[in-house]
Amino acid sequence: MNIWIAVAVTAVGCYAVKLIGLLVPAGVLERPLVRRLAALLPVALLAALTAQQTFADGTTLVLDAKAAGLAAAAVALILRAPFLVVVAAAVVVTAGLRAVTG
Amino acid sequence: MAEQTTSTAIRAGSARDGQAGRPGDGRPEKADSAVVRDALGVGVAVGLSGFAFGVTSAGSGLSVLQTCALSLLVFTGASQFALVGAIAAGGNPLTAAAGAFFLGVRNSFYGLRLSQLLALPRVVRPFAAHWVIDETTAVSLAQPTRRSARIGFTVTGLTLYVLWNLTTLLGALGAEAIGDTDAWGLDAAGPAVFLALLAPMLRTATERAVAGIAVILGLGLLPVLPAGVPVLVAALAAPAVLYAEGRRAARRATGKNPQEDPRKADGRQGEGR
């Protein structure tokens, strides 16, 4: 049930912010500080989430095959690979390393 | 990707108002088929990665129904991955939802730009709003005319929505069938998606500073704060860096080298980001 609450709150919240963007008159969200903050917030969140999902197991920090998978994704990004290839590289390298190291 | 195309498209937009698609105005109309091809390319590639979301979500302990509800109703990938990641880590549902929500806030700014570019009728907006995401914005803003922007938005949105939801369902069902998703390396899909979304945003020293501080806060606080909270604290890296930057600019403006400073300050504002 708790998960359904999270699903519902996220769905309503995310739809609301999309709709607000289309409905508000330009200018309200166009203040330079607000715009800069909106551009930087996803950077902070995505960076923190990437790091946590790679190096965390619950509330402990770990270093496992996922780190190698993420490194592979980074290489794919530097080589300008398409989105799907980036994700596939991470998955394949992680699975391969786990298969080898057991 | 979206951020890179944004400023040029807006600038082009103000110059072409009222003459969209007129032949011979130096801005050749893009063939509808070319727009559709671009839009399909983005829609199909990203739509297929719904499979990774389905697997991740089911592997995080959400039911198939909950997983599909997220793709149908939230439909903004990063927020969905963030939510299931936080739930998998044992986070409080409201903290998890807060992280997902903050990630979705950027869509407001996409909508603001799109509403001028697409000039949608009021009745259509509540429906179009659901498709206002990174990919539809990137494709729309890259188009030379309003007509091609509308085609790009619609084709990208439709393909992505249909495929994302189909592959979410397949991924969720597949995750149940194959059991231990970690053995297949599928737990690496979530962070890889985040990295792919993050990479194009890291263009200036400011953005890299924000990302670096956020990583340190997110990992450093992980062992000491309840699950989900460290990510929200890490988000404070954005206002913190902006504040530090503002102070530095102010100090330079009032500071030791008055000849050079006003120009620098102007240049910074002129970047307009």
CA B201 – CA B203 distance, rounded (Å): 6
Question: Which residue of chain B comes nearest to A95, CA vs CA?
Answer: B185
User: Model pTM?
Assistant: 0.77
Measured distance CA(A11)–CA(A5) in Å, rounded: 10
Q: Which of B211, B170, B224, B205 is nearest to B58 (CA)?
A: B170
B209 to chain A, any CB pair closer than 8 A? The answer is: no
A75 CB near a chain B CB, below 8 Å?
no
The minimal CB distance from B237 to the residues A44, A89, A91 is found for A44
**Could you count the other beta carbons within 10 Å of the beta carbon of residue B23?**
7
Q: Each residue of A5-31: b (16+ CB within 10 Å) or e?
A: ebbebbbebbbebbbbbbeeeeeebee
Structure tokens at B98: 């807060």
The question of ipTM being above 0.95 is answered as no
Give me the residue spans of the domains in chain A: 64-102
Q: What is the pLDDT of residue A98?
A: 93
pLDDT at B178: 80
Instruction: Report pLDDT digits (tens) over B152-164.
Output: 999 999 999 999 9
User: Whole-angstrom Cα distance, residue A55 to residue B215?
Assistant: 11
Q: With 50 as the cut, is the pLDDT of residue B268 above it?
A: no
DSSP per-residue string spanning B175-194: HHHH--GGGGTGGGHHHHHH
Q: Over 70: is that where the pLDDT of B5 sits?
A: no
* pLDDT confidence of residue B239: 94
Q: What's residue A7's pLDDT?
A: 96
CA distance B214 to B210: 6
Interface test with A, best of B7, B81, B107, B159 (most A CBs within 10 A): B107
User: A–B: how many Cβ contacts below 8 A?
Assistant: 313
CA distance B22 to chain A (A): 27
Band of the pLDDT at B242, cuts 50, 70, 90? very high
- Where residue B29 falls (left for φ over 0; alpha for ψ -120 to 50; beta otherwise) is beta
Residue B173 distance to chain A (closest CA, Å): 18
Alpha-carbon span B58 to B245, nearest angstrom: 42
Q: Computed from CA positions of residues B187, B189, B190, B196, in that sequence, does the dihedral angle turn out positive or negative? A: positive
Question: What is the model's pLDDT at position A38?
Answer: 79
From chain A, pick out residues whose CB is under 8 angstroms from the CB of B188.
Answer: 54, 65-66, 69-70, 73, 90-91, 93-94
Distance CA B52, CA B189 (A): 6
The one-letter amino acid code at B116 reads Q
Contacts of B73 in chain A (CB under 8 A): 7, 11, 15
Q: B84 and chain A: CB distance < 8 Å anywhere?
A: no
Residue A95 is encoded by which pair of tokens? 């699975």
Chain A residues 18-37 within an 8 A CB cutoff of chain B: 18-24, 26, 29-30, 32-33, 35-37
| Residue B247 CA neighbour count, 13 Å, CB half | 6
Residue range B138-159: average pLDDT?
93
- Contact check, Cβ <8 Å, B230/A61: no
Determine contact, residues A10/B79, Cβ cutoff 8 Å: yes
Instruction: Give the SS3 label for residue A81.
Output: coil
| pLDDT tens digits, B13-66 | 333 333 344 444 445 677 899 899 888 988 888 888 899 899 999 988 999 999
For residues B69, B72, B78, B81, the Cα torsion angle rounded to the nearest 10 degrees is 30
Q: Is A62 on the interface with B (CB under 8 A)?
A: no
Note whether A15 contacts B202, CB cutoff 8 Å: no
Report chain A's mean pLDDT, rounded to a whole number: 90
Chain B, nearest residue to A53 by Cα: B191
Looking at residue B20, its pLDDT comes to 40
B257 pLDDT higher than 80: no
The confidence score (pLDDT) of residue B28 equals: 62
Q: Which two tokens stand for residue B161?
A: 């929505």
- Mention every residue, 6+ apart, whose C-beta is less than 8 A from residue B155: B35, B36, B39, B40, B43
Question: C-alpha angle B15/A23/B36, rounded to 5°?
Answer: 55
- Binding-face residues of B in 150-179 toward A, CB within 8 A: none
